[in-house]
Amino acid sequence: MTTINAPLTLPCGVVINNRICKGAMTEGLADAANCATTKHAALYGRWARGGTGILLTGNVQVDHRYLERPGNVVIEGEQSDAQLTALREWAKAGTAEGTQLWMQISHAGRQTPAAVAATPVGPSAVQLQMPGAAFGTPRALSSEEIIDVIARFAHAAKVAQDTGFTGVQVHAAHGYLVSEFLSPDVNQRDDEWGGSLENRARLLLEIIRAIRQEVGAAFPISVKLNSADFQKGGFSHADSIQVAQWLNAEGLDLLELSGGTYEQPKLVGLDNLTNNPKLAEVRKDSTIAREAYFLQYADAIRAVTDMPLLVTGGFRSRTGMDAALAANACDMVGIGRPLCADPDTSKKLLLGNIEEACAFEKTLRIGPGWFGPNSPFLLMAGLNGWGQQGWFCLQLIEMGEGREPILDLGVFAAFRRYQANETSAAKAYHAHWQES
């Protein structure tokens, strides 16, 4: 039976040492000019020594005007010598001991925080439905700007290849720009980039084709795709199946299945924060399905494609991971948060030293725990969810600075410290680009 210890040969011929992938997690370690730093090399060198087969980077942006957060690395235009050196050092550290290091490339679209851009961009001028004024109303991209976005993705992929990264992943999930184009709820265009699913998927497919032309046939290309947006009128599972078939026809090397957006954050194991009970979902009552948020959606995609599948989100036990692989439900399993608390988690699982990855989120909470969609304590549920997010992000900063994770850090303290860090980074970002 296939287990997490088995190697995996991709369609392009690259062999992955084992079946564990580190899911992409935003690092926030770039400098004010959105260049990579020595902190990236320190963090990914630590993870490379931890035995994981593939390390996916946090989303590297293709346009400095539209970021997921101020500390994102950006690759656009001509790269400075200092940036290229930092990228090479990052790649060298992250590929130690035969580890694969793939750069995830992205455009934040309308999910660009207002602290970065008051007016973000998207396929259409559809406002993100989030509390407060954290995100501005986007403007619709012109056809010329869409063509430029495609070129930006291809350029970033080529820079990644040239500086020593061993693959790339296009982020087409979680409500960022490519995902927005796929969603009929967000993409309300009536030109060749909107309307039918074929038109809505055009941006993603053209990006893949442009990247392949730049990097050649032997360089791994992956896509992170929503199994569904889990929102009424959004990108559906049926849509996902069809897009997966088109990606399969393009010779994709690895498809990662995920789900959700900022409005419906399945990506961090949460749902119903939009207070809409129609968005609730019943999971299959099995060990595998309980652990992996999106595994139940892989079956239909597996039936109509032959490219390798990666499922990330929720896996914790070796038993669950091996069961998913043995059942041919997926070809790789992704873990993220456990590697923030213990960067050696993969090695320990592979050697059989532990049965279950530490799930610190079970103990990271304020108050009695999670609350349902009709609870008066919904705000506390949100604080728990995003406070946890801040807790894990701070651990990456600690390791990037050469220290060990701070496991006794409280959720509320992490939330406040994370917000302060983001505010400081935003000020530095604006000061740099205004001067430029």
**Positions in the chain whose pLDDT score sits under 50:** 266-290, 369-373
Q: Which two tokens stand for residue 59?
A: 């989303």
pLDDT value, residue 163: 98
The per-residue pLDDT for 378 is 54
Give start and end residues of each alpha helix (H) in 314-410.
318-326, 337-341, 345-351, 378-400
Question: What was the pLDDT predicted at 134?
Answer: 86
Residue with tokens 């060298």: 92
pTM of the model: 0.91
Instruction: Report pLDDT for 377.
Output: 53
Closest CA to 398 of 29, 1, 8, 4: 29
pLDDT of residue 359: 62
The domains located in the chain, with CATH, are 8-357 (3.20.20.70)
pLDDT per residue as tens digits for the range 122-166: 999 999 887 666 899 999 999 999 999 999 999 999 999 999 999
With CA atoms as reference, report the closest residue to 27 among 360, 359, 340, 414: 340
Q: Which residues make Cβ contacts (< 8 Å) with residue 150, sequence separation at least 6? A: 203, 206, 207, 210
pLDDT value of residue 287: 41
Contact 100, 55 (CB under 8 A): yes
